[in-house]
Amino acid sequence: MIQTIDLRGTRPTPSELLAAVPRAATSVTVASDVAAALIEDVRARGEVALLDQAERLDRVRPAHVRVPASEIAEAIAGLDPVVRTAIDETIRRVRIASAAQVPPLVTTTIADGAVITQRWQPVNRVGLYVPAGKAVYPSSVVMNVVPAQVAGVSSLALASPPQSDHDGRVHPTILAVAGLLGVHEIYAMGGAGAVGAFAYGVPGLGLDPVQLVTGPGNVYVAAAKRLVRGVTGIDSEAGPTDILVIADAAADSRLVAADLVSQAEHDELAAAVLVTDSAALADAVSARLAELATTTTHSVRVTAALSGRQSAIVLVDDLTAAAAFSNAFGPEHLEIQTLDPQAVLAMIDNAGAIFLGAYSPVSLGDYVAGSNHVLPTGGQARFSSGLGAYTFLRPQQVVDYSRDALLAVAGHIAALSAAEALPAHGDAVTARFSADAEG
């Protein structure tokens, strides 16, 4: 069912490791043309394009794209009390962890009268995307909204695909959680078209462009985010999920297999990878995967994900090699199930989120760990990070010099500006100390 990649007895170079990493055939690059057409359609035709796309892609034409307040109130009233309790606890934990991500304002005195203040300023308006295709993700509402609120974002708009089994409405649980968090600008729109609507705005809906688009989605959502970057900011390209487990002979094959399946059930393009120095564990996990794939609720989806080219069991000589492979893969979720997880952690550079030991499964992070589950996928963790309060903040340096402090460095400025053949830079400083300026 799942392929084996045997790297034992080899010492791959960094380039060779990158080439050995399993990836899905359908990538963000492949999806870009489709995403671009959907975005351009929204730019040209606005609300009508969004309605047409919903009818074609979501198999339902919503009565309205902008969700009325009455539907949000109705969804809150109908929320299962058990789910609400779980949501309330998730909100509490994510809010605590997000608050720790806000850097303090720092003022540094460079010299007498020379002060630099480092402040972190939130963006004003954000578009939050919450997927609802193969599954419904009220937890993603929490993961998007709470850190934005903690950061101080003043205007939040949320988009989620219309549901054919709810008469074209946004899923009621998503609406309820958004309402509980105080988000009332909600749109029944999904996919690349929704990302385009956030980036460029839709005047007919009263939807103003946003400064930042965040949230997970399928490969077309990830492609759309790549396309609009530069028009608006994005968090990361959070597309089809992936999990990589580093495990040794001390790991429990039942738990490793269960964790791989837990992410494989998201999408046929989900990647599930085990990297181990134990052939016995590899065989045991492979056998358990075959069993679980036939009995789990989303058997067809899981089987497709595990048998896809993006999933694998990778055999290596030792845990140092396992860490090197993981760093090349850049997993969204990295589990370390070894005798000494901390020792392996010390070798890890690239990962969206890291889960240590048998009692920190990815499922914990998906819901109530307090960490954020909106993470970079498809190797993006090699150079980007997961969603957090810091995502919504921009570092700004505020420069405040007195007359004497500027005079003390005026000669340096003149010398450097002359060396760069930009004399007007130096002139702008010396003008402040000329007789005319004094007058």
The reply, when asked if residue 232 is annotated as ligand binding, is no
Quote the CA–CA distance of 369 and 97 in Å, as a whole number.
Answer: 9
Residue 20 belongs to a domain: no
The reply, when asked if residue 252 is annotated as ligand binding, is no
Q: Please check whether residues 180 and 295 belong to one and the same domain.
A: no
Quote the CA–CA distance of 375 and 238 in Å, as a whole number.
Answer: 6
The reply, when asked if residue 265 is annotated as ligand binding, is no
Q: Please check whether residues 126 and 38 belong to one and the same domain.
A: yes
Residues serving a catalytic function are 332-333
The reply, when asked if residue 298 is annotated as ligand binding, is no
Domain count, the chain: 3
Q: Please check whether residues 44 and 171 belong to one and the same domain.
A: yes
Quote the CA–CA distance of 408 and 398 in Å, as a whole number.
Answer: 19
Give the domain range for residue 78: 28-235+390-394
- Domain of 214, CATH number, reads 3.40.50.1980
Residues paired with 341 in a beta bridge? none
Q: Please check whether residues 69 and 214 belong to one and the same domain.
A: yes
Q: Please check whether residues 322 and 340 belong to one and the same domain.
A: yes
Q: Which of 284, 294, 239, 237 is nearest to 261 (CA)?
A: 294
pLDDT in tens, the chain (439 residues): 899 999 999 999 999 999 999 998 767 888 999 999 999 999 999 999 999 999 999 999 999 999 999 999 999 999 999 999 999 999 999 999 999 999 999 999 999 999 999 999 999 999 999 998 777 889 999 999 999 999 999 999 999 999 999 999 999 999 999 999 999 999 999 999 999 999 999 999 999 999 999 998 888 999 999 999 999 999 988 778 999 999 999 999 999 999 999 999 999 999 999 999 999 999 999 999 999 999 999 999 999 999 999 999 999 999 999 999 999 999 999 999 999 999 999 999 999 999 999 999 999 999 999 999 999 999 999 999 999 999 999 999 999 999 999 999 999 999 999 999 999 999 999 999 986 555 5
Kindly write down the DSSP assignment for every residue of 127-196, as one continuous string.
Answer: EEE---SSS--HHHHHHHHHHHHHHT--EEEEEE-EEGGGTTEEPHHHHHHHHHTT--EEEE--HHHHHH
Residue 425 belongs to a domain: yes
Amino acid letter, residue 385? S
The reply, when asked if residue 425 is annotated as ligand binding, is yes
Residue 251 belongs to a domain: yes
Quote the CA–CA distance of 179 and 176 in Å, as a whole number.
Answer: 5
The reply, when asked if residue 333 is annotated as ligand binding, is yes
Helix (H) or strand (E) holding 247: strand 242-247
